[in-house]
Amino acid sequence: MSKKETTNLDEVRNKNYEAKKMNTSENSKKKKDKDLPWWVELLFVQIGLPDKLLIKILKAKKQSKELLKNDKKSLITILFVITILGYFFPVIKHAKNKLDCEAIAKSYIIKNKKTTGINNRELKMLSTNFCYGGEEIFEIENLKN
């Protein structure tokens, strides 16, 4: 190759590089000119909320994505524990209410009825029956007569 051809090739390469560089800048401008998400359009353009709020929302969104990316295992564990607690909470609450009702019914039976001939197991049975809508405690006085 001669010297002229070499310089000619260099010029062609430079032109191609400049053309590619221009295309890249145009592509990046196109990417920057994307449409806004609907919620940004609605809240910040149409309604006119302050831009500081948008900045805070976008920072929080970015931080939450990073948190999800970095701490998946611990978040899944926490979610599992919360689900278990949410599942068993009604069962525990029902059991607590049942025990409270039985204690109140037992004290009511002892105070208001003649329980001299009733042992502790029968008293517990009567209080449980009363809590579930039974009316056997009203017949206690009739049993003794």
Q: What is the mean pLDDT of residues 71-96?
A: 94
Helix, strand, coil percent values for the chain (each to nearest 5): 85, 0, 15
The residue with greater pLDDT, 87 or 134, is 87
Q: What is the mean pLDDT of residues 39-50?
A: 88
Collapsed DSSP state (helix, strand, coil) of residue 132: coil
Taking only the tens place, the pLDDT of each residue in 1-34 is 555 555 566 676 766 666 666 655 555 555 566 7
Q: What is the mean pLDDT of residues 63-82?
A: 92
Domain ranges of the chain: 72-145
Say if residues 129 and 136 touch (Cβ distance below 8 Å): yes
pLDDT band at 145 (very low <50, low <70, confident <90, very high): very low
d(CA 19, CA 13): 10
